[in-house]
Chains A and B, each alone.
Chain A
Amino acid sequence: MAGKSGRTISNKPESPIKKIIFSWEGILILVLIGVNIFCKWFSEYYNMFNLLRQMPVYLAEVFLMMPMAFILVMGEIDISVGSIACLSATMACIVCNTGAPFIVVILTALAVGTLCGVINATILTNFTELPPMIVTLSTQIIFRGIAEIVLGSGGSISAANTAGFKALGTKVGKVPIILFLVAILAVIFAIILGKSTFGRRVYAIGTNRLTAHYSGIHVQKIRFIIYTVMGLMAGLCALFLVSTSYGANTTTGTGFEMDAIAMAVFGGISSTGGKGNLAGGIISAFIIVCLRVGLGQRNVHAQVILLILGVLLIAAVALPNLIGQLRRAVKKQ
């Protein structure tokens, strides 16, 4: 029954170089270079050594951005991750203060995070009609509420045995451990999202859930895995939060979910699902980290930094639209 008309259909992909240059990631790399030039001009202290020294404080959020990218690509959202980090950090400190070996502390943080992720995942996959935004808003309140109850009247806890946490904050040569970890995980997450069958299915779910279901994709299984990993990564994030402050309090991780979403969206990952990739998310994460380090060095107020990031984000979301409109206008001429 081969093609009766003898028509052939091309399957030659376009050159990858052209693809990169004209992509959003290409633009982001230029922005990253621009931001570094700006910071160098703006702050006399801005150099590689200081950047690496001050980076870890901001890098913990990148752990959240990576699984968040998967959730956004699915067309969903998880706003409970900041609270999960808070609860994980709190529990880790409590276990740490019992004198348990540090490996137990690490496992506690990861286990608490994973458990919270499983709770989200269980609710969302069993009651598929519930919107993720509302479910994770509820668990956001619940997880932080539990943390506040555990923390009691003081509202904070210090890790008595800081040796383990100090180890997490050390450097190999001049490069902090956390940067290594972010780099390794970024590569793993990017390969899974961009190159694996799992990733392809995530895009399918985010673009047309019904077709995905009819095509034999285990939609709920995939959602369960992703929300669980999201919790696990929030636990990891919590460990590094404690390692920078040697403690936890009721505001630990506040707003981190929004930062993670902002990084991903700035990286070109659409919150309506099915679009973007992790490379964009990682580059945009470093743009934000560099900007924060650079502006922070000249004591620019944290609120002003937030304001700048907000403007950048809106520009990032609006720009593709504007370019599209411009293109259409030019075509009409």
Chain B
Amino acid sequence: MSEEYILELKGITKIFPGVKALNNVQFQLKAGEVHALMGENGAGKSTFIKVITGVHKAEEGEMFLNGQKVDFKGPRDAQAAGIAAVYQHATSYPDLTVAENIFMGHEIIRHGMIQWGAMNKEANKLLQRMNADFDATAEMGTLSVAQQQMVEIAKCLSTNARIIIFDEPTASLTRSESEELYRIIDQLKAEGVSIIFISHRFEDMYRVASRVTVFRDSQYIGTYDVDGITNADLIKAMVGREITDLFPKPDVKIGEEVLRVEHLSRTGFFKDVSFAVHAGEILGFTGLVGAGRTEVVESVCAITRADSGNVYLEGKETHFQSPSDAMDAGIILLPEDRQKEGLIMSWGLGRNVTLPVIEKYAKNGLNNEKKERELSKELLEEVDTKAVDIFQPASSLSGGNQQKVVVAKALAQEMKVVIMDEPTKGVDVGAKAEIYAIMGDLAKQGYAIILISSEMPEILGMADRILVMCNGRKTGELSRDEATQETILELAMEKGATTKGGAA
């Protein structure tokens, strides 16, 4: 087999009961390269990674490591061969120290005793290699997501991994943290580690990878040089069709003011935030993760209590005591974490959709299940959910379709203001376009929309006006014409947090 490849897979087919998760796919990793793996959710990337790391065994196909045929019986074999993976959601133990997490399963032991000193020292050495700003004795749970990821990487390095797989590492990182990760990846590459990098973000791929392989519908589509490829080519390869307009921002006449927030503060989270949103308008809400965007809208919806400030709906001051008050008034929040806050994953789609409105259709306190079935079918079809029936559990859908169910759930209610918190997080590009289309339709129908997002293209593409937050304060407000990546970033990173730009 070709000597230049450190890892080569050929004709891999993996069958799960009822589905071919991988169908005759191939992949070649050069020594010391960063190779991006892209594809929509459900394209088979995760299964493929699990085949490489020995978690799954492929029914057909061969795998060569340094030109030698290998056959992993389990994850331990892959680890011994120098293959390690950093997963999207850190699989760490929050109550243990960093060193304990790094050496979990392969502790440094002499005479049956754990050698704490040696282990901490070794862990610190690994952390220093990445310029980490925390100590090996720190408790895992006290670290930020980015720092926890560094620990995961250190864990890979501690097993002397020569091939490291990153599974959507930037999904929950801020921009500056992503930059830090890019730097670490560059460094690992310089040290001769080969890297497979999975991400939905094009900017990640352009920044770190030299080649990119695309999967679609469990099949291998192609491998391309990053230098010679455009967004449009990649999207076409991933989706199988051309998406002419990813951001179908409709031309909507902006109407009356619907929601106005004045001087809203919550100690420790945000301070003196004011803004207004009008009918038919999409107000972008951006800033770094942790800037307080989610906290602000959760206070508006009475999910948490603000300490001071006023919320006016259609000019009238509101006094919401509970989330249901805000919902009855027509302020609907689509929460950030659809699996934990938006949906009940083990419930059928239909029950999820009707949960907030069961009372409206009930007679004498008893559920009107027939009416519920009709309503949920209608709404789920309206947002074009890829589902077989309304009884299948929400967990059986892909991220993008789960988000559509969250939208259907909102549509079941009488809305005036729709607040979408990171609606496309972890959603593949095809479903993203569909969600933007729904958002555009809602604006056309005259709803006031607040779009919270960390993704710059999304904010620039969809928002009429952009509000930027930093460290719990509003640092600026930009019109669609004023806004560029640079102006937004400048406001989002601003340390002094003095109010700039448009007044509230």
Q: What residue of chain A has the Cβ atom nearest to residue B351's Cβ?
A: A200
- Contact in complex: A197, B391 (CB < 8 Å): no
Q: Of A4, A198, A213, which is within 8 A of B365 by CB?
A: A198
- Contact in complex: A331, B17 (CB < 8 Å): yes
* A216: Cβ under 8 A from any B Cβ: yes
Binary CB contact string for chain A from 284 to 297 against chain B (1 if under 8 A, 0 otherwise): 00000000000000
**Given A204-B355, A215-B356, A216-B356: A10 and B324 interface contact (C-beta under 8 Å):** no
Q: Which of B271-279, B382-390, B484-492 contacts A (4 or more CB under 8 A)?
A: B382-390
- Contact in complex: A211, B389 (CB < 8 Å): no
Chain A residues contacting B391 (CB-CB under 8 Å) are 13-14
Question: With the chains together, A9 CA to B377 CA distance in Å?
Answer: 6
Q: How far is the CB of B408 from chain A (nearest CB, A)?
A: 10
- Contact in complex: B333, A214 (CB < 8 Å): yes
- Contact in complex: B386, A7 (CB < 8 Å): yes
- Contact in complex: B438, A1 (CB < 8 Å): yes
Question: With the chains together, A210 CA to B304 CA distance in Å?
Answer: 12
Q: What residue of chain B has the Cβ atom nearest to residue A2's Cβ?
A: B382
Q: Which of A202-219 contact B (CB under 8 A)?
A: 204, 207-208, 210-218
Q: Of B333, B344, B350, B366, which is within 8 A of A196 by CB?
A: B366
Chain B residues contacting A197 (CB-CB under 8 Å) are 358-359, 362, 365-367
* B177: Cβ under 8 A from any A Cβ: no
- Contact in complex: A196, B387 (CB < 8 Å): no
- Contact in complex: A11, B355 (CB < 8 Å): no
Question: With the chains together, A123 CA to B39 CA distance in Å?
Answer: 51
Question: With the chains together, A10 CA to B389 CA distance in Å?
Answer: 4
- Contact in complex: B333, A11 (CB < 8 Å): no
Q: Which of B406-426 contact A (CB under 8 A)?
A: 409
Residue from B341, B386, B388 having most chain A Cβ neighbours under 10 A: B341
Chain B residues contacting A196 (CB-CB under 8 Å) are 362, 365-367
Chain A residues contacting B17 (CB-CB under 8 Å) are 331-332
* B381: Cβ under 8 A from any A Cβ: yes
- Contact in complex: B389, A12 (CB < 8 Å): yes
Question: With the chains together, A331 CA to B16 CA distance in Å?
Answer: 10
Binary CB contact string for chain B from 381 to 404 against chain A (1 if under 8 A, 0 otherwise): 111111111110000000000000
Question: With the chains together, A27 CA to B423 CA distance in Å?
Answer: 44
* A154: Cβ under 8 A from any B Cβ: no
* B280: Cβ under 8 A from any A Cβ: no
- Contact in complex: A5, B362 (CB < 8 Å): no
Question: With the chains together, A204 CA to B356 CA distance in Å?
Answer: 11
Query: Chain B: how many interface residues by the 8 Å CB criterion?
Result: 49
* A191: Cβ under 8 A from any B Cβ: yes
Chain B residues contacting A211 (CB-CB under 8 Å) are 340-344, 355
**Given A3-B381, A211-B341: A11 and B367 interface contact (C-beta under 8 Å):** no
Q: Of A8, A191, A198, A274, which is within 8 A of B381 by CB?
A: A8
* A301: Cβ under 8 A from any B Cβ: no
Question: With the chains together, A13 CA to B389 CA distance in Å?
Answer: 9
Question: With the chains together, A99 CA to B48 CA distance in Å?
Answer: 80
* A18: Cβ under 8 A from any B Cβ: no
**Given A3-B382, A10-B389, A197-B362: A216 and B324 interface contact (C-beta under 8 Å):** yes
- Contact in complex: A208, B384 (CB < 8 Å): no
Question: With the chains together, A198 CA to B362 CA distance in Å?
Answer: 11
- Interface size, A (range): 35 or more
- Contact in complex: A207, B347 (CB < 8 Å): yes
Q: How far is the CB of B308 from chain A (nearest CB, A)?
A: 23
- Contact in complex: B386, A1 (CB < 8 Å): no
Q: Of B346, B356, B390, B409, which is within 8 A of A11 by CB?
A: B390
Question: With the chains together, A3 CA to B264 CA distance in Å?
Answer: 39
Q: What residue of chain A has the Cβ atom nearest to residue B301's Cβ?
A: A214
Question: With the chains together, A196 CA to B323 CA distance in Å?
Answer: 21
- Contact in complex: A195, B366 (CB < 8 Å): yes
Binary CB contact string for chain B from 300 to 343 against chain A (1 if under 8 A, 0 otherwise): 00010000000000000000001110111000010100001111
Chain A residues contacting B385 (CB-CB under 8 Å) are 7, 9
Binary CB contact string for chain A from 1 to 39 against chain B (1 if under 8 A, 0 otherwise): 111110111111110000000000000000000000000
**Given A7-B384, A8-B381, A210-B341: A195 and B367 interface contact (C-beta under 8 Å):** yes
- Contact in complex: A9, B388 (CB < 8 Å): yes
- Contact in complex: B388, A200 (CB < 8 Å): no
- Contact in complex: B389, A9 (CB < 8 Å): yes
**Given A11-B389, A211-B340, A211-B342: A4 and B384 interface contact (C-beta under 8 Å):** yes
Question: With the chains together, A147 CA to B377 CA distance in Å?
Answer: 56
Chain A residues contacting B252 (CB-CB under 8 Å) are none
Q: How far is the CB of A292 from chain B (nearest CB, A)?
A: 35
Q: How far is the CB of A66 from chain B (nearest CB, A)?
A: 18
**Given A1-B438, A11-B373, A197-B362: A214 and B381 interface contact (C-beta under 8 Å):** no
- Contact in complex: A214, B367 (CB < 8 Å): no
Question: With the chains together, A248 CA to B252 CA distance in Å?
Answer: 75
Binary CB contact string for chain A from 204 to 246 against chain B (1 if under 8 A, 0 otherwise): 1001101111111110000000000000000000000000000
Q: How far is the CB of B377 from chain A (nearest CB, A)?
A: 4
**Given A196-B366, A208-B340: A11 and B384 interface contact (C-beta under 8 Å):** no
- Contact in complex: A7, B365 (CB < 8 Å): no
The 10 A-B pairs at the shortest CB distance, nearest first, are namely A216-B324, A10-B389, A11-B377, A1-B441, A11-B373, A216-B327, A3-B381, A208-B344, A197-B358, A215-B356
Q: Can you name 24 A-B pairs with beta carbons within 8 Å?
A: A1-B383, A3-B381, A3-B384, A8-B381, A9-B387, A9-B388, A9-B389, A10-B388, A10-B389, A12-B389, A13-B373, A195-B366, A196-B362, A197-B359, A197-B362, A198-B365, A208-B345, A211-B355, A212-B344, A214-B341, A215-B323, A216-B322, A216-B327, A218-B324
Interface residue ranges, B against A (CB under 8 Å): 17, 303, 322-324, 326-328, 333, 335, 340-347, 349-351, 355-356, 358-359, 362, 365-367, 373-374, 376-377, 380-391, 409, 437-438, 441
What would 11 more interface pairs be, CB under 8 Å, given A7-B385, A197-B358, A216-B326? A2-B382, A7-B386, A9-B387, A11-B373, A12-B389, A13-B391, A197-B362, A204-B344, A211-B355, A212-B355, A213-B303
